[in-house]
Structure 1
Amino acid sequence: MTDTFTFLNDELIWKVGSIGLLLWGVFIWKESSEYGSYRFWIKVIVSLLAIVSLMAIVLQPAISSSRKSTKAILLTNGYNKSQLDSLKKVHKKIKVLTYEVNNLSFENEVDSIFLLGYGVEPFDFEHFKNQSGYYIPENLPSGIVQFDYNHQNFVGKSIMFHGVYSNPKKGNRLLLEDPGGVTVDSLVLTSEVRREFLLKAKLNIKGNHTFYIIEKDSLGEVLSKDPVPVVVEEAKFLKILMLNNFPTFETKYLKNYLTSLGHEIIVKSKLTKGRYKFEYFNTEKSRIGALTEKKLKDFDLVVIDAFSLRNLGRKSFLALENSVKVNGLGVLIQPDNNFFSTSNNIGDFVFVRDKNNEVTLKDLPKKKVTKNTFLFKNEFEILPIHKNIDKEIISAYRRVGNGRVGATILENTYELLLQGDSVMYKQLWSGVIEKLGNREIKTSQWQSNGAVVQVDRPFDFSLRTSIEKPIVKTSNEYSISLRQDINLKNVWYGTTYPIEQGWHKLWVEQDSTATFNYLVTDSLYWKSQKHYKNIEENIRYFNTSSIKAQVNQPLQPINTLWFYLLFLMCSGFLWLEPKMIKD
């Protein structure tokens, strides 16, 4: 064992040392008349001891005891026995501990820990502050380890369940079952190490519904059955105005898609100077000239190309801008090459150059889409709609007053339809239109890290609201403590721990319409996905230089009483010494 001398307030060493030297110098100068006598040297030494004792009181010296490291192995769910045996061969007499959720403590002499298996729960990381930890990850579990879908949808739309299956067994089948027990989609798994898949179903009835992802073997035996909660609301039909400098294929196919959904569409396309072509779908004919706030009040969304936006007259532009800020109008800008390099003062988007002219979207895999050679700059107020697989922003919008202004760097998306991929085309544009076209001004908006919640596990959510001090309650009328975002005063965060399975609801006491529905399931569901997330979190937390470098070196402060006594003795001597000589 080796002991190291240190100071608890070592950041003050230079300041305290400089002041101490200055005081000692003043004392020596004061006693310089007695220079050369033995009394002078005694007083100089005693004064030095007095000043050093004062410095020690401020700096608080301590002894750091560095002892031989004691290692241990922590076994978590799914650990590999061969990894355990290998570690025990290398480290003789190493301690072996078993992990228990919410019941984790270490003996003081254990300061270096190897973790095996799927890892500890993230809320137990705090127990490793004084230990050097290294996580040896387990191979990915077999099953669905990642999935993504929109759990809040509308009647008439389709639920698109995109997932990743790890280590599938060839011949097994995945089925999507509706709440009535009817299989609505299925696929056969292959022997790939990582299999991406997409299952879909039409939503016909409003309400809180539970679909199921079922895996069966080649003989039809059910291997797993995991719930997929979906909140279905009544379809909302929008009134949309499309303004184009000239007719384009992009507008043509987008118009056809929106018309098929039942939206009311008016298209105004410029043919030549002063001449326009008007088209009307699902609505009565209505002549659209210069834009005014009165005319725009009837629309939920304006789709306009960048050239037309730049060339709007001053009155029309102000009418459009005021309709967005005051009346909550949505605007979708269709970009051209100049859009990315010139100021667009209704959305104020900033772009950065990108050499790629194709992109694979994060939520629409296995298909490349044409794009401009730019990306959105990830600014504070930009809200993403689509991201690529590298999490760069492809489509986004910005809140402008009560409304929203959005854009996308994608181009020629109609080619997806020509290639027969109508599902991807609809999924792409439905996300954009739904984000921008909702003219309804809500006082509160919810966001969570997922729709599937497990019993006795923390469920984190955020609430964006104009209510000054919102009170959030559960289905059982319990209030949830909220913390306010340090930068965004209208954003609040909360955590709840549901104890019962089934559908639950969060709601704001000051606004009965502000509700959020979510499903609570047993911890036996979605095991593979849970283990996958745990592995990622443990790698991120433990296998970093900051965590691995931690060493257990307890500091033992020296009792400052000794320095007070030394100072009193020295100062007493310096006070008495002149009086003793005079006597």
Structure 2
Amino acid sequence: MQANWTYIVLTLCVLQAAVFAWQEYRRVNKRNLTLRMLAVIAAVAALACIALPIGYTGNVAKMAKHKTILLTDGFNDDSLSAVDSNIVTTEVNVKQAYPRAKLINSTDELSRNNQLHIYGYGLSRAGLLELDSLPFIFHPASLPGGVSHISWSNHLKAGDAMQVQGVYNNPSSKKVKLVLKGLNTGLDSVTLAPKAQTTFNLSTVPKTTGKIVFTLHADTSLQGYIPVEITSTEPLKVLMLSASPDFETRFLKNWLTQNGYAVALRAAISKNKYNSEYINIDKLSLERLSTQTLGKFDVVMGDLSVFSSLSPGETDALKQQVADKGLGLIVRSDSAGKASWLQKQFAVDKPSGKEPAPAQLIIDGKKSAVKLSYGPSHIIYQDGTLPLVKTTQGGVLSSSALFGSGKIIFTTLNNTFSWMLAGSKRDYTALWSALLSKAARKDNVVKNNVEFSGLPFVNHPVLLHVARGKASPITVNGQTVASVQNADIPFEYNAMYWPPSAGWQNMEENGRLSAWYAYAENNWKAVQAADKISATKKYAGEHKITDIVTKQIHQKVRIEVPKIYFYILLLAACTFLWVEAKLS
């Protein structure tokens, strides 16, 4: 049939060429006759090539290895080609979004004979383990909008501030308001810039104890739950030493009292004579500070001149309690010029000149709401110290250093009561809560320390890292979970558990009870995506395709010539004949 069609087309085209050439030859005007004859032949030849399949034989390189595409959540349709055929997925939602993909039960079904490409956010850490070192090429999707990184302390003591820190990815052109809520009440908020990844820090002081679940919202969109277990404790016992009455000591004593701290105040009246006050604490003798007396407190605070005026016996007792028993010290800088062991790591620079204008302070990473006049003095940073309060220009106003098992906090701030006078109780509370919590003596109660490789989600394997002294059964929700000792860390045991439902999970080990929280799958979507992208990139970098070499095979095939060339030739020939006829 094809041969007959070719003969018919060729016959008709030859007859047409002969007729059109005879017409041109018969014209009286013989000008450009040769060009006219060539144009006629070219036009008829173009018609023939349009009607007939014109092609040639050439070499095409093909790949010896077949390509398998694994689609994961977040993939982009535009990244796939129409010729891609072996497309699979392990996720039902991906199958619904892209029906061409074949749904497989697990990554175990992937063939090692094929070159694997993964599109989307990638696989979880557990999913990557199932690949058993199978190499692949990763095509990561863009990070979605939302909270991509988040951290907070899961266990707090009553009165401690809860800090929620993280990174928010905002690809939109509008600002986003991030709100921390508890019992549907806004506790803290921050506005984030558009088209940027911004770090944030939200804080609150929980008023109740027990297991509490806070929430984090971006405008009206729920990002995820923030579970915290708050334990009730004995009130922090604070000993205040004062050389003379001042507003800073007075306001601080009142604030400690109002917030439930146990406070004892020793104020000097004259040499070796003191006046004592006791609030929320039993009376005890403060005439002489012994190791027994200091052992009843968690924090001792006062001016540098007060500590410098202590007797040698009191100084030795104070050093022993701090170094051996973990007592905390908060030392306020003053004009005392006497050298002290307390200031060894806290050199103070007192530049001359105009006092800086009041400004906002950075308290434990968060900017104060109200400005404060902080004076010209600041602490010179030294290795081994940790700045706690700074100016916006980076000057250190409060810093911490270890002294044995205890901590010494040194501060140049002496008029924080100005915040209280200005009605900024929140800034005042944030400052002194941070300093007291950093300095306070730590308890030695043995707890079940449970850590995770990532946020635990329902119906997903959760790898528990349990720190314990000896092997003992681990039960979660009444179910015994097998554990394996960590080869690198002898006192750590790893256990795998699949939470059947979202919420608090109760765990018992060696007679100790603890709880941790499993999140619903729609919680922290951007965090899950960021974690998958990071883990998959790391795996792909460690398992590069080296053993699967794609070898090119050259195969001869027939290649069709595009018809557009013949249409152009026909149009050019006809145009020449028309123009030549008009000009003749």
User: TM-score, normalised to structure 1's length?
Assistant: 0.58
Partner of residue 76, structure 1: 72
- The equivalences for 1:467-546 within 5 A come to 467-481=469-483, 483=485, 486=488, 494-509=495-510, 512=511, 514-542=512-540, 544=541
Aligned counterpart for 1:136 among listed residues 137, 140, 152: 140
Given that 1:301 and 1:329 are in contact with CA atoms closer than 8 Å, whether structure 2 keeps it comes out as: no
In 1, distance between residues paired with 2:452 and 2:414? 29
Could you tell me how far apart the structure 1 residues matched to 2:207 and 2:222 are?
A: 26
Which one of the candidate residues 179, 183, 188 is aligned to 2:185?
Answer: 183
Question: RCO greater where, 1 or 2, for CA within 8 Å and sep 6 or more?
Answer: 2
Counterparts of residues 555-574 of structure 1 (less than 5 Å)? none
Q: CA deviation at 1:405?
A: 0.9
Match of 1:242 in 2: 240
1:540 deviation in Å?
4.4
| SS of corresponding position for 1:504 | strand
Give the structure 2 partner of residue 262 of structure 1. Answer: 260
Which of 98, 114, 122 pairs up with 2:89? 98
- Out of 367, 372, 379, the position equivalent to 1:372 is 379
In the TM superposition, what is the alpha-carbon distance from 1:149 to its structure 2 partner?
3.6
- Residue range with higher mean Cα deviation, 518-527 or 309-318: 309-318
Q: Deviations over 1:22-63 (max 9, x none)?
A: xxxxxxxxxxxxxxxxxxxxxxxxxxxxxxxxxxxxxxxxxx
Change (3 A) 1:464 1:431: farther
* 1:372 to 1:397, Cα distance in 2 relative to 1, 3 A: closer
Q: What does residue range 64-463 of structure 1 map to in structure 2 within 5 Å?
A: 73-82=69-78, 84-85=79-80, 88=81, 96-98=87-89, 103-104=107-108, 106-110=110-114, 114-126=117-129, 127=131, 129-131=133-135, 133-138=137-142, 140-154=143-157, 159=162, 161-162=164-165, 164-167=167-170, 170=174, 177-179=181-183, 182-185=184-187, 192-194=194-196, 203-214=206-217, 223-224=221-222, 226-234=224-232, 236-243=234-241, 255-268=253-266, 280-283=278-281, 286-303=284-301, 315-316=313-314, 319-320=317-318, 323=321, 328-332=325-329, 334=331, 364=366, 372-374=379-381, 377=384, 404-408=405-409, 412=413, 417=419, 422-423=425-426, 426-427=429-430, 429-431=432-434, 433-434=436-437, 437=440, 440-449=443-452, 453-463=456-466
User: Structure 2 regions of 5+ residues with no counterpart?
Assistant: 1-62, 92-104, 348-359, 392-397, 550-584
Measure, in 2, the Cα distance between the counterparts of 1:147 and 1:461.
19
Distance 1:528 1:321, change over 3 A: same
Cα 1:301–1:122 shift into 2, 3 Å: same
| CA–CA separation in structure 2 for the residues paired with 1:307 and 1:315 | 17
Find the counterpart in structure 2 of residue 51 from structure 1.
none
CA distance in 2, matches of 1:410, 1:102: 58
C-alpha separation in 1, matches of 2:487 and 2:341: 30
Report the Cα offset of residue 495 of structure 1: 4.8
What displacement does 1:476 show? Answer: 1.0
Deviation at residue 264 of structure 1 after TM alignment: 1.9
Measure how far apart 1:142 and its partner are.
1.9
Matches of 1:386 and 1:540, distance apart in 2: 37
Q: 1:505 to 1:387 in 2, by over 3 A?
A: farther
Say yes or no: does 1:551 pair with 2:551: no
Tell me if structure 2 keeps the 8 A contact 1:270–1:277.
yes
C-alpha deviation, 1:267, in angstroms: 4.0
The number of residues matched between the two structures is 447
C-alpha separation in 1, matches of 2:515 and 2:527: 22
1: CA distance between counterparts of 2:65 and 2:295? Answer: 72
Change in 2 beyond 3 A, CA 1:458/1:310? farther
Give the unaligned 5+ runs of structure 1: 1-66, 218-222, 352-357, 389-393, 555-583
Give the SS at the match of 1:457: coil
Contact 1:133 1:548 in 2 (8 A): no
Give the Cα separation in 2 of the matches to 1:540 and 1:500.
30
**How far off its partner does 1:78 sit?**
0.6
Question: Which residue matches 2:352?
Answer: none
Q: Taking structure 1 as reference, are residues 152 and 318 closer, same or farther at Cα in structure 2, changes over 3 Å only?
A: same
- Please report how far the alpha carbon of residue 303 of structure 1 lies from its aligned counterpart in structure 2 after TM superposition: 3.8
What is the CA-CA distance between 1:151 and the residue it aligns to?
Answer: 3.6
Shift of 1:226: 3.4
CA distance in 2, matches of 1:302, 1:444: 27
SS at match of 1:454: coil
Once the two structures are superposed, what CA deviation does each residue of 1:251-306 show, in whole Å capped at 9, x if it has no partner? 67655543331212234467997676766544466542443232123223334677
Summarize the Cα distance change of 1:224–1:283 in structure 2 as closer, same or farther, 3 Å threshold: closer
The one-letter amino acid of 1:504's match is Q
TM-score, normalised by the number of residues in structure 2: 0.58
Question: How far did 1:77 drift?
Answer: 0.8
Structure with bigger gyration radius: 2
Aligned to 2:54: none
State the AA in 1 paired with 2:77: K
Contact 1:169 1:190 in 2 (8 A): no
Is residue 450–residue 466 contact of structure 2 (8 Å, CA) maintained in 1? Answer: yes
CA apart distance, 1:336: 7.1
Q: Give the RMSD, CA atoms, in angstroms.
A: 5.4
Aligned equivalents of 1:306, 1:445: Cα separation in 2? 39
| CA distance in structure 1 between the partners assigned to 2:306 and 2:497 by the alignment | 49
- Sort the Cα spacing of 1:463 and 1:329 in 2 relative to 1 into closer, same or farther, 3 A: farther
